[in-house]
Amino acid sequence: MTEPATPQESYCTAVGNIVTERPYGPGGEEIRTGTKHFRPGAKVYIIDYFGGMCESVVVIGHHRKSNRPIKAIIKAKYIENFRVKQCISLAAIRLIKEHQASPPTAELTQEFAETLCRILPHWR
């Protein structure tokens, strides 16, 4: 006899996309696409933030070269199109659990994700 199927684990997270172009270098003279680790338009799950200056956030997304899911810290100004979504990606959930093994800033709840979506655009 088979065991009953368990519901798939998921987390409610804030989600955004990496900006297409960003200024780079002294005075922002050069224009670069995406970031060092993420392609332009890549979807990233925002799972944590740093209090204080609130410039940087912890994200999970697919690396631009290896296409493997990675956890990275990037500036909030490099993310746009904020929204709340359920994260059901098994690889992303594994990285979220690894991150939560260390003391996280906040628990991933619907309320936390909505708060991030409301305040992150102001950090840009």
Confidence (pLDDT) at 55? 84
Pick the closest to residue 87 from 108, 105, 72, 101 (CA basis): 108
Q: Which residue has the tokens 């780079």?
A: 24
CA distance 100 to 16: 20
**Which pLDDT does position 120 carry in this prediction?**
85
51-94 residue pLDDT tens: 776 689 999 999 999 999 999 999 999 999 999 999 998 999 99
Is pLDDT at 6 greater than 90 in this prediction? no
Of residues 123, 100, 118, the one with CA closest to residue 48: 100
Residue 8: pLDDT band by 50, 70, 90 thresholds? confident
Residue ranges per structural domain of the chain: 11-123
Per-residue confidence at 49, pLDDT binned at 50, 70, 90? confident
* pLDDT for res 10: 85
Considering the entire predicted model, what is its pTM?
0.86
Q: What is the pLDDT of residues 9-48, one digit of tens each?
A: 888 999 999 999 998 889 889 998 999 999 999 999 999 8
